[in-house]
Chains A and B, each alone.
Chain A
């Protein structure tokens, strides 16, 4: 009965309060993951209804169901919702729910950050849905090409809803990416080396890294376009040194990796579920890992294949065409690894396997048409036609929705602790599968017959009528299938009987716990000896529940989990924060910032930012302690210090990855400047600005002071404050001398560069003052200096970017 006593003790530490208090204060990864999954499914349903309206409109030629004004909102919102409010959050939810369980941990590295991301997603997504209810939804297409989305051609608030709402939602993507990366690299069961990582975790690691590099260009583009719309700074206006192609580059720098960001987690589900269905280990673990990593890498080299028709030199197109076809190789490796696994095993046609077959058929077809559109001359014909609409739905529905449905049926016993009793899932599969192919297969032909994307009406004589009618009927069949799926889920949740533990006899650790899982996941952490511990050690679940692993003894009502290095050696105990309302409050204040910009009440925005800074201060203050505890017992005869007493606590590694995303944003800004300088018409700008060596010199001096003062013998990190104060003065003076940003893109870029530098100097100052206050309050010691190293990291980054800002704002004028 030791297991039951431990269960009660751990529940008391980890569970969220009952009722609405728990709803707004829970930071538990299972809660946050479940919410994300359910919300994403709700948005999928909304996006699906929009798709039905689109199909209703297109079913007949010259349809009068809706006019172009409404239709343009429909397809813009359908695409935006499915991409940003369904696919990404759905995978985030699955990752957040599943990762700690797969890795033999109790929670993610940053539980409050996951909660903050969830609230940002919910509020940002609600803004977008609100715009639709008000009839002012975005209507420039989900890729928002300028100048159609710029103020002269979209004067309403529609585009602002997109730019601000999506950016608000993207906070959750960046938060989740940092959380996932650090959790996979650090928060695992002892001795789980990277070579024993469940394949799903490898896929999620690659995906999270791609998000850190892929989302910043979109966030930067959205910021620039919103500034152009709000303050008339001409980044994309060709008459004043801007270029609409800059938007396309920034958008597709994000947009192409985005496709793989959506596909990879789903492929991870396939690599997890398929071997279990085939009753054999996966074929070629290491080759698959290599394929996943190379896919992530290659996906950044193909964005231009969305721009084959914008007038780029043909040999450059040939390069991107080659890269685009090359990406089929790591995909092919995975397909054949899956086929080989099936051949090696004894596959059983259980329901998840049925959905995986749907995935195979659909995704392979989408991949094949993908190779076709990577061939430049063919793309010149089918680009922006229904052929591409069909292709992308084959890839996204085949490559994401079918694996996710397989995953839903595979993990449902884990989520609910119940087994399937009603046989609706098979019927739902056939309706979805047949409906999907009826909708989209002939759409390829419609494109080849000349039907463009995004037309709300077409002439009878075009010859597309019969195809569109079949598509529309197919669409409604598919919708019925999804409705049945939802009903099946609800029935299983409320009416089914208990499921035995580990119903599929799977080997990964998420099955070595009770289902539905307890708030703390596992009463003790396993010592991992293989890739499939739950399979190799049949009694593992019970042993862990009896507290026979690590951290099996509750201590001071701390939420504890372990940090390990890449080889799985124990580093330290992570003491996680408990339930708190800080995430929701911070998300509300962050929301005030976005709403202030949306409603153009600009004076509110600085107050909201100050509020976020103050909350961030409290956020960080809540951790740590005022005395050294040394190494504490962690069970199995081992000892480890808490994360407060190590040099590289999770917050340090999290900062490294957040700065990776931040530097990608900065790099995209510099790319934008170089692009406009070399490609845009209207350069060089009129010589109204001479540049100043003094700004560069002062910025260099300020940065040197910020970097070197705290590194002198006997110095404290707070001495970097002087350097940053000088940097703030320098950049403010530089902006004071700069030409008016509305005159030319060159001046507008200087404004953004200085803004970037000033913002980061301010962040560094905030952190340095925080460290000073913590030192005075006794939170720092020779052992407890992780916070100092985090502040120094941000301080150094601000100093380095400050110098680059000064160089890139002054040099183009000085060297002219």
Chain B
């Protein structure tokens, strides 16, 4: 994608997506950015033109047209897009692999239903398929976030929150604790390693390091 060229790439960039969910949100962002730029240009244009000699000013046109009809139209479209996209990002498939992410100050422990031993600081997932992450915490609130794969979800004491992520291709993706969690917050990161099928099988049989 050409979009990644202009300073948008980076190891934690939401604009350099590596999975379907992050890609959809990045697309939504570019659409919203274009719309916002157009609206901003309109408002500032009207503001600039107001300093020219006075002209007729219809209360109905300004307030009903500009103030109510215009934003309602734009917002409804945006809202529908948001809800549809949101529905797609929540765990719909019940047969997806479910791994557990347990946060604590200042560590991430990941466990797997496949029999692989729990790992600290590195989450192993298969590439190319959705993985549900069950997120919880042993102490304060943290937040599980892998920007290139999708949105974030908080780890709240006593609750288990689920988030679906998917990496389109094998690789290593950086994860961040997004919720302020104390003095170690800045260094409370982790890695997600997405494996191609052979490596994933090897990991589950205890072979991958």
The answer on A and B forming one complex is: yes
Option from A238, A340, A378 in Cβ contact (under 8 Å) with B66: A340
What is the 8 Å Cβ interface bit string for chain A, positions 694-712, against chain B (1 contact, 0 not)? 0000000000000000000
B63–A287 CB distance below 8 A: yes
Find chain B residues with CB under 8 A from A334 CB.
67
A452–B66 CB distance below 8 A: no
A380–B40 CB distance below 8 A: no
Interface size on A, residues (CB 8 A): 85
- Interface: A132 (CB within 8 A): no
Contacts A283-B62, A371-B75 given; does A311 touch B15 at CB 8 Å? no
B141–A369 CB distance below 8 A: no
B40–A450 CB distance below 8 A: no
Q: How far is the CA of A377 from the CA of B90 in the complex (A)?
A: 10
A333–B57 CB distance below 8 A: no
Taking the nearest CB of chain A, how far is it from the CB of B36, in angstroms? 4
Closest B residue to A288 by beta carbon equals B63
What is the 8 Å Cβ interface bit string for chain A, positions 345-385, against chain B (1 contact, 0 not)? 11101000000010011001100110110011111111111
Contacts A147-B140, A309-B153 given; does A343 touch B158 at CB 8 Å? no
B82–A339 CB distance below 8 A: no
Find chain A residues with CB under 8 A from B116 CB.
none
- Interface: B159 (CB within 8 A): yes
Taking the nearest CB of chain A, how far is it from the CB of B105, in angstroms? 8
A317–B36 CB distance below 8 A: no
Find chain A residues with CB under 8 A from B9 CB.
463
Q: How far is the CA of A329 from the CA of B174 in the complex (A)?
A: 39
A329–B185 CB distance below 8 A: no
Q: How far is the CA of A341 from the CA of B25 in the complex (A)?
A: 38
B75–A326 CB distance below 8 A: yes
Closest A residue to B89 by beta carbon equals A377
Contacts A314-B86, A369-B36 given; does A337 touch B67 at CB 8 Å? yes
For chain A, residues 293 to 344, give those with C-beta under 8 angstroms from any C-beta of chain B. 309-311, 314, 317-318, 321-322, 325-326, 328-329, 332-337, 339-344
Q: How far is the CA of A546 from the CA of B59 in the complex (A)?
A: 40
Contacts A369-B36, A455-B185, A681-B158 given; does A339 touch B66 at CB 8 Å? yes
Find chain B residues with CB under 8 A from A383 CB.
151-152, 178
Closest B residue to A369 by beta carbon equals B36
A238–B71 CB distance below 8 A: no
Find chain B residues with CB under 8 A from A20 CB.
none
Find chain B residues with CB under 8 A from A451 CB.
12
Taking the nearest CB of chain B, how far is it from the CB of A49, in angstroms? 22
Closest A residue to B57 by beta carbon equals A344
B141–A145 CB distance below 8 A: yes
Q: How far is the CA of A233 from the CA of B131 in the complex (A)?
A: 39
- Interface: A284 (CB within 8 A): yes
Q: How far is the CA of A372 from the CA of B174 in the complex (A)?
A: 25
A380–B152 CB distance below 8 A: yes
Find chain A residues with CB under 8 A from B186 CB.
68, 455-458
Closest A residue to B176 by beta carbon equals A452
- Interface: A445 (CB within 8 A): yes
- Interface: B161 (CB within 8 A): yes
Option from A333, A382, A448, A680 in Cβ contact (under 8 Å) with B63: A333
Find chain B residues with CB under 8 A from A309 CB.
143, 151-154, 178
B28–A337 CB distance below 8 A: no
A317–B44 CB distance below 8 A: no
- Interface: B147 (CB within 8 A): yes
Find chain B residues with CB under 8 A from A342 CB.
47, 50-51
23 inter-chain pairs at a CB distance below 8 angstroms, sorted by A residue, are A69-B183, A145-B140, A147-B141, A244-B157, A311-B156, A311-B161, A333-B63, A335-B66, A336-B63, A341-B57, A342-B47, A346-B54, A368-B36, A384-B143, A384-B178, A384-B180, A449-B14, A449-B15, A450-B11, A455-B186, A461-B11, A462-B11, A680-B158
Binding site for B on A (CB under 8 A): 68-69, 72, 141, 145, 147-148, 153, 238-239, 243-245, 278, 283-284, 287, 291, 309-311, 314, 317-318, 321-322, 325-326, 328-329, 332-337, 339-347, 349, 357, 360-361, 364-365, 368-369, 371-372, 375-385, 445, 448-458, 461-464, 680-682
Which 6 A-B pairs rank lowest in CB-CB distance, beginning with the nearest?
A: A380-B151, A450-B12, A238-B158, A340-B62, A333-B67, A311-B161
